[in-house]
Amino acid sequence: MLFLVDGYNVTRADDATRHLLPDEQRLELMRRLGARGAGLLGSGRIVVVWDRGFHAGEESTGGVEARFSLDESADDVIVRIAESEPGPVAVVTADRELKSRVRERKGRSTVMLPVSTIFEAAPMRRAVRRGPREGHGELPAGHERITEELRDIWLDGKEPGRKT
């Protein structure tokens, strides 16, 4: 499957990246997808499309491709790529007009994913707490999965201190 990510649409919706400069937003999303893209989206090619840019038009980070729209909108590039792709396409955006355009051109082989798919592990806004905070904070959502991934990578799936 081809995953098309509407770059700045995602980073501006993410509490972890929205306040960064545009180049920093781009690098953070590319790094996140390079490290965890398959886990967040699934198996397939990931292409992030960015509005404008000063680059030659393409670059890659950790197996994730970046495309820069240069003289056209990122939406137009996403529609064109989706339309030319022979197989199924998943589009990650919150832009309703873009979703509609891709569905019109690509049809039923298009899956629309919410932008939160990519930043589900990022800190979420929390309600303001009243009174003193106890403890040292909370573990992030999905912390068990991260621990398992690290155990598999660093310890070949073994528990620390356990003899096998």
User: What tens digit of pLDDT does each residue of 92-144 get?
Assistant: 999 999 999 999 999 878 999 999 998 755 444 443 444 444 444 566 666 67
Question: Looking at the whole model, is its pTM more than 0.85?
Answer: no
- Residue 136 CA to residue 42 CA, distance in Å, equals 33
pLDDT more than 90, % of the chain: 52
Burial of 10 by CB count in 10 Å (0-12 exposed, 13-18 middle, 19+ buried)? buried
- 154 pLDDT higher than 90: no
Q: Which of 86, 58, 57 is nearest to 71 (CA)?
A: 57
Alpha helices in 6-164 (DSSP H): 7-11, 22-41, 74-84, 96-106, 143-155
User: What tens digit of pLDDT does each residue of 74-84 get?
Assistant: 999 999 999 99
* Three-state secondary-structure class, residue 157: coil
